Structure 1
Amino acid sequence: MGLSDEELVNEIISGNQSAMEVLVNRNYKLVYAFIYRNVGEYHTTLDLTQESFIKIMKNLKIFKSHKGNFQCWILKIALNICKDYWKSAYVKHNTVDDSSLEQVYEEENVINYLEKIEERQEIKKAMMLLPEEQREVIILRYYNDLKIRDIANITEIKESTVKSRLRLAIGKLKTLLQRGDSNERNKRSI
């Protein structure tokens, strides 16, 4: 078995460049997926993931002094980068990544595939309508499968607040998605 993330951090701080590559490769998918779920656009996700790893590498000594869970720490950095992105001017929420359409060949699969894309787009739109603090906890809990305790650590709020935000966000998502379903049914009946 290889070195833990924490041991790799110590190696990097000591000047071992190959440890940096191992650490990035090990955690890239986690950070990329987290950011993609926050911003929903391929090219922006690549940029923000790169920005996250630059910030992570610059701040490894800070992590060493925290003595915490490395993955929670890097997700906290990624979360802050996403927050900065959303605060920046002219962010467009309605981009669609259709690069994966090329992977679909059979006609019946195309219909299923397009229905799934539409469903994901509806969920993404509904997520974007949530207040930022509710969207964050939903993404951390259900997309990154983190425990309430870890979410509280990353977002620097109490566990009870995490639970409350999750409850509120789920309720709002249900309402938004049901409203979207009834609008779609009304369009079809016209």
Structure 2
Amino acid sequence: MPQTDENLIKEILKGNESAMEILVKRYYDLVHSYIYRTTNDYNIAYDITQDVFIKMMKNLDKYNLNDGKFKNWLLKIVVNTTKDYFKSKTYKQRIENYDIENHQIEDKFNVIDIISKKEESIKIKEAVENLPSLQREAIFLKYYNDLKIKEISKITGDKESTIKSRLFNGIKNLKKLLGGDLFEEESQHTQAKM
């Protein structure tokens, strides 16, 4: 029978390394996939994921059972660490280099190469990436991590009404970017997978 997060945390705080390994394995995919969807770069997502688990371990003694699910506490660390990355010098330098590389790539490739990408899922992924960051964050937490508005509010520190507004506007923007019907079909398909 699998141990609860709370039992694992108690064991970790006593110094049990195997309990730490179990807890990290339990949440690794969740943490990494959120960060990867947000950064769209596997290596950076890997680095930030490592940072998240280091922060988790350093602050595990501050986790309070009365604050709610451990998953939500961990996602708060994930969201804040990812935001910190986007404010960092590393990110700003990467953007500058990316712009330079893109100008060079545009000269080398023709339109046919660009069009030959995978269709529906790539369109949706690109549309989500084009959303304002706060709308994108709300959509990732709601639809990809299956969180309730109240949980997202606790994780981000924003009011529930603000989260609802971001979700509403994010979906409205996605419909515009995708031509309406495509997003409806894909969101139903995505929810069926969860």
Please report the TM-score for the alignment, with normalisation by the length of structure 1.
0.76
In 1: Cα distance, 2:67 partner to 2:173 partner: 36
Q: Deviations over 1:125-147 (max 9, x none)?
A: 32232222111100001111111
Q: Which amino acid aligns with 1:90?
A: Q
The secondary structure found in structure 2 opposite 1:145 is: coil
Name 1:106's counterpart in structure 2. none
Q: Which amino acid aligns with 1:162?
A: I
Q: 1:65 offset after TM fit, Å? A: 6.8
Name 1:126's counterpart in structure 2. 127
Instruction: Assess if the C-alpha contact under 8 Å between 1:40 and 1:124 holds in 2.
Output: no
Q: Which amino acid aligns with 2:76?
A: K
Q: 1:151 offset after TM fit, Å? A: 0.9
Task: Count the aligned residue pairs.
Answer: 161
Q: Is 1:150–2:151 an aligned residue pair?
A: yes
In 1: Cα distance, 2:59 partner to 2:119 partner: 39
Name 2:104's counterpart in structure 1. none
The secondary structure found in structure 2 opposite 1:90 is: helix
Name 2:93's counterpart in structure 1. 90
Q: 1:124 offset after TM fit, Å? A: 2.8
Q: Which amino acid aligns with 1:5?
A: D
Mark the CA change 1:79 to 1:3 in structure 2 (over 3 Å): closer, same or farther: same
Paired residues for 1:19-98 under 5 Å: 19-64=19-64, 67-88=67-88, 89-92=92-95
In 1: Cα distance, 2:85 partner to 2:94 partner: 8
Mark the CA change 1:56 to 1:135 in structure 2 (over 3 Å): closer, same or farther: same
Q: Deviations over 1:39-58 (max 9, x none)?
A: 11111111111111111111
Paired residues for 1:132-171 under 5 Å: 132-171=133-172
Q: Give percent identity, aligned residues only.
A: 49
Q: Which structure 2 residue ranges, 5 or more long, are not aligned?
A: 102-115, 183-194
Mark the CA change 1:125 to 1:91 in structure 2 (over 3 Å): closer, same or farther: farther
Name 2:112's counterpart in structure 1. none
Q: Deviations over 1:138-189 (max 9, x none)?
A: 000111111111111111122222111100011111112239x9xxxxxxxx
For the aligned residue pairs, the C-alpha RMSD in angstroms reads: 2.4
In 2: Cα distance, 1:125 partner to 1:11 partner: 42
Q: 1:17 offset after TM fit, Å? A: 1.1
Mark the CA change 1:65 to 1:150 in structure 2 (over 3 Å): closer, same or farther: closer
Mark the CA change 1:91 to 1:129 in structure 2 (over 3 Å): closer, same or farther: farther
Mark the CA change 1:3 to 1:67 in structure 2 (over 3 Å): closer, same or farther: farther
Name 2:187's counterpart in structure 1. none
In 2: Cα distance, 1:140 partner to 1:90 partner: 27
